[in-house]
Amino acid sequence: MSYANGLIHVCTIQRNTQAALDEYNKPEEPVWGDLTTLPCRLIPMISNVRGMGGLVGKGGSIGVVDTVKRVYLLLLPRETDVTEYDRVVNVKNRRGGTVETGPLSPLLVRTVSGWTEHHRSVILEKVT
């Protein structure tokens, strides 16, 4: 089986198209635009639940907010233009069914070298 046959999903990579700074010289809220839609393979790696501090000011009680962090490995064709500042959305299978809506944020984009000469690996996370 060739590597291309293993790319069983299709995903969209988005890039921030907002380059403006606000009056305090900080970046404005991102405005995401589609960069490309291409074959890929999304592989779930880790999921965990973690507490995120307390809720203060809601009736005076302090509670714990649980969030789920999911980490994925994404395989892409080697020539794919993707950086840690992009995001991945709308991962679908070959039949068009949704696998993951996203957005998924890249934590690490591995360069193409050695044993990964035919693909690019991206570690993604989603916090919900």
Total domains present in the chain: 1
Which residue range forms the structural domain that includes residue 9? Answer: 3-127
Q: What is the pTM of this model?
A: 0.78
Per-residue pLDDT reduced to its tens digit, 40-88: 999 999 777 665 554 444 444 455 566 778 899 999 988 889 999 999 9
Q: What is the CATH number of the domain that holds 91?
A: 2.40.10
Beta strands in the chain (DSSP E): 9-16, 32-54, 64-77, 87-93, 98-100, 105-109, 119-127
Q: Using 50, 70 and 90 to split pLDDT, how confident is the model at 102?
A: confident
Per-residue pLDDT reduced to its tens digit, 2-50: 677 789 999 999 998 877 777 787 877 888 999 999 999 999 997 776 6
